[in-house]
């Protein structure tokens, strides 16, 4: 039987009666002011975590942005308020319970994250009675369905540990993963001071630059405001959220609400500040040229992207610069994942790097992957300018990944496959099957062993995650 973490703050931070809690959550979401237009799917939220009587209306403005969206998992990230430790605690497995029901911890994803660095520790103990993460869960249960959670609590970590967590999260987060950062703002100054300080703090978050955020906090604390204990109790968690949003190239941060406890309770002598912010993925462009669709590229678009890849490689290998360009094709401006492959005249592979992350326009992805294929493929020495003229460039534009329940759903020659297991992953493009002549079993076995460093037959195991995708391939 899976372990169940019982709620620690039901009845104090939020109602313990299921019907009362559901009614309150629905009411807060209904009343939430959603003045800001969120054009893309929310990917990172910053929300407060005080009792719902104080911060619930503010938090609801952020959670309301999730309505109409779906996610496979939600990472809930906060800084420890009770236990003292010097690592990142990742809740390992089991179920989290609130009066609204139980939510499963994504054990596979938690294991993958923990495997990336010794300071990312699978640890349930320090999270047993921490309200910082729990208080967000009933809101998530109200606006989402069929999701798992990955609770992460930060101890007293240094900047190196913070950066390792950022890199690990950014590498593993796909479009089906939401990051919720839990933090209140100014603690215990007067309302007028909180309003001033919190405006500076949120203004720094909106820049997207952690340096600006640090500077705003340090300057506020240096002012010696009476009773100002902290500008953000989850400052480290906010920094991680900001850096992840930057790594994923999300849309600029948007401020949804900025309030404090005095506005709710009437006491303006000592207050706690609350803010709700969102960083969203990029929306699909609405404008398309006649004859172009979301799926297939026109021949003009293909030629433009191939020319862009070659121009980029020539500029980078000769002068170390990525050229500034203007693209004409509307499809080339859409967010799409892509691989760039380099081959010799004899057809031998010389480099191949790609990404599924569709947060940047396709033309920018092609530029970055062309440079990476030439200089960062660990299987080959970097390409030199002298050999570039003898290389052929191929581009594979990817469809979004779709998780499949078993290999029976995979169609050879049509589907590319991504495999994940125990923190390892690997990918084969669809054309690999055509080029090798492998059977489906050979294709999947080689993917597991050759690309992911896993047992060859792991694709048959229930704990192995398989995704499929399609690729539109074209070359010089």
DSSP string covering 350-369, please?
EEEEEE---SSBHHHHHHHH
Strand partners, 121: 89
3-class SS shares of the chain: helix, strand, coil, % to 5: 40, 25, 40
Verify that 239 and 343 share a domain, yes or no: no
Instruction: Dump pLDDT digits (tens) for 295-335.
Output: 577 888 888 899 998 999 898 888 888 888 778 777 777 77
Alpha-carbon distance of 348 to 334, in angstroms, equals: 31
Verify that 68 and 116 share a domain, yes or no: yes
Verify that 130 and 239 share a domain, yes or no: yes
Which phi and psi (to 5°) does residue 254 adopt?
-125, 135
Verify that 307 and 417 share a domain, yes or no: yes
Q: What is the CA radius of gyration of the chain?
A: 24
The answer to whether residue 467 sits within a structural domain is yes
Looking at per-residue pLDDT, the higher value among 37 and 167 belongs to: 167
For the chain, what's the residue count?
476
Instruction: Dump pLDDT digits (tens) for 103-131.
Output: 999 999 999 999 988 889 999 999 988 89
Q: Given pLDDT bands bounded at 50, 70 and 90, which one contains residue 264?
A: confident
Dihedral Cα 39, 35, 66, 101, nearest 10 deg? 180
Verify that 467 and 388 share a domain, yes or no: yes
Name the residue among 21, 25, 4 with its Cα closest to residue 97: 4
The answer to whether residue 291 sits within a structural domain is no
pLDDT value of position 119: 87
Verify that 330 and 440 share a domain, yes or no: yes
Domain boundary among 248, 280, 312: 280
Average pLDDT of span 273-288: 74
Q: Given pLDDT bands bounded at 50, 70 and 90, which one contains residue 293?
A: very low
Verify that 319 and 447 share a domain, yes or no: yes
The answer to whether residue 364 sits within a structural domain is yes
Q: Is 8's pLDDT higher than 50?
A: yes
Q: Given pLDDT bands bounded at 50, 70 and 90, which one contains residue 284?
A: very low
Domain boundary among 247, 280, 313: 280
Average pLDDT of span 8-17: 94
Annotate 121-150 with b (16+ C-beta within 10 A) or e (fewer). eebbebbeebbbbbbbbbbbbbbbeebbbb
List Cβ neighbours of 184 (8 Å cut-off, separation of 6 or more): 48, 49, 50, 55, 232, 233, 234, 272, 273, 274
Helical packing angle, 107-114 and 159-172, nearest 10°: 130
Query: Are the C-beta atoms of residues 356 and 174 closer than 8 Å to each other?
Result: yes
Instruction: Dump pLDDT digits (tens) for 134-188.
Output: 999 999 999 998 899 999 999 998 888 888 899 899 888 888 899 999 999 999 9
Domain holding 407: CATH number? 3.30.700.20
Verify that 204 and 350 share a domain, yes or no: no
The answer to whether residue 286 sits within a structural domain is no
The answer to whether residue 454 sits within a structural domain is yes
Verify that 272 and 304 share a domain, yes or no: no
Q: How many domains does the chain have?
A: 2
Annotate 23-53 with b (16+ C-beta within 10 A) or e (fewer). ebbeebbeebeeeeebebbbbbbbbbbbebe
> Which tokens hold the place of 116?
């990336």
Query: Which segment, 27-41, 151-165, 212-226, is predicted with the most confidence on average?
Result: 212-226
Q: Given pLDDT bands bounded at 50, 70 and 90, which one contains residue 1?
A: low
> Which tokens hold the place of 64?
């309301």
Verify that 273 and 335 share a domain, yes or no: no
Looking at per-residue pLDDT, the higher value among 405 and 391 belongs to: 391
Domain boundary among 221, 250, 280: 280
pLDDT value of position 220: 95
**Structural domain boundaries enclosing 362:** 299-475
The answer to whether residue 289 sits within a structural domain is no
As a whole-number percent, the residues of the chain with pLDDT over 70 amount to: 95
Average pLDDT of span 214-220: 95
Verify that 231 and 351 share a domain, yes or no: no
The gap from C-alpha 470 to its chain's centroid, in whole angstroms, comes to 22
Q: Could you give the 3-state DSSP secondary structure of residue 308?
A: helix
Verify that 110 and 210 share a domain, yes or no: yes
Query: Are the C-beta atoms of residues 56 and 293 closer than 8 Å to each other?
Result: no
The answer to whether residue 234 sits within a structural domain is yes
């Amino acid at each position: 039987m899976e372990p169940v973490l019982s709620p620690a703050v039901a009845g104090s931070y939020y109602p313990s009666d299921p019907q009362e809690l559901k009614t309150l959550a629905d009411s807060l979401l209904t009343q939430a002011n959603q003045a800001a237009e969120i054009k893309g799917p929310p990917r990172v939220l910053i929300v407060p975590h005080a009792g719902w009587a104080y911060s619930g209306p503010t938090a609801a403005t952020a959670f309301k942005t999730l309505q109409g969206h779906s996610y496979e998992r939600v990472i809930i990230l906060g800084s420890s308020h009770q236990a003292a430790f010097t690592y990142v605690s990742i809740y390992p497995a089991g179920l989290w319970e609130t009066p609204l029901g139980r939510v499963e911890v994504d054990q596979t994803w938690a294991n993958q994250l923990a495997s990336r660095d010794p300071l990312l520790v699978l640890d349930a103990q320090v999270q047993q009675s921490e309200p910082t993460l729990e208080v967000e869960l009933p809101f998530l249960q109200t606006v989402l369905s069929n999701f798992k959670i990955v609770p992460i609590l930060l101890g007293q970590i240094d900047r190196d540990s913070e950066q390792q967590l950022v890199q690990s999260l950014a590498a593993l987060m796909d479009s089906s993963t939401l990051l919720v950062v839990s933090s209140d703002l100014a603690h215990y100054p007067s309302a007028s001071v909180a309003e001033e300080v919190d405006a500076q703090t949120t203004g720094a978050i909106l820049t997207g630059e952690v340096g600006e955020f640090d500077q705003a906090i340090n300057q506020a604390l240096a002012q010696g405001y009476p009773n100002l204990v902290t500008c953000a109790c989850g400052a480290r968690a906010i920094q991680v959220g900001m850096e992840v949003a930057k790594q994923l190239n999300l849309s600029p941060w948007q401020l949804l609400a900025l309030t404090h406890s005095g506005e709710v309770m009437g006491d303006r002598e000592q207050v706690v500040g609350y803010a709700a912010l969102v960083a969203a993925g990029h929306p699909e462009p609405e404008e398309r040229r006649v004859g172009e669709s979301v799926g297939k590229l026109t021949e003009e678009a293909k030629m433009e992207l191939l020319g862009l890849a070659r121009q980029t490689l020539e500029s980078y290998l000769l002068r170390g610069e990525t050229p500034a360009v203007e693209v004409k094709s509307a499809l080339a401006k859409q967010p799409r994942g892509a691989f760039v492959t380099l081959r010799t005249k004899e057809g031998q592979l010389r480099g191949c790097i790609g990404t599924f992350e569709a947060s940047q326009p396709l033309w920018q992805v092609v530029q970055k992957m062309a440079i990476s294929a030439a200089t960062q493929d660990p299987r080959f020495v970097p390409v030199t300018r002298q050999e570039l003229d003898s290389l052929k460039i191929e581009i594979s534009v990817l469809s979004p990944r779709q998780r499949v329940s078993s290999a029976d759903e995979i169609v050879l020659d049509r589907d590319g496959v991504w495999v994940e297991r125990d923190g390892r992953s690997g990918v084969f493009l669809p054309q690999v099957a055509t080029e090798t002549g492998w059977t489906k079993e050979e294709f999947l076995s080689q993917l597991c062993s050759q690309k992911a460093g896993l047992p060859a037959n792991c694709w048959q195991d229930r704990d192995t995650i398989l995704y499929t995708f399609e690729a539109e391939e074209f070359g010089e």
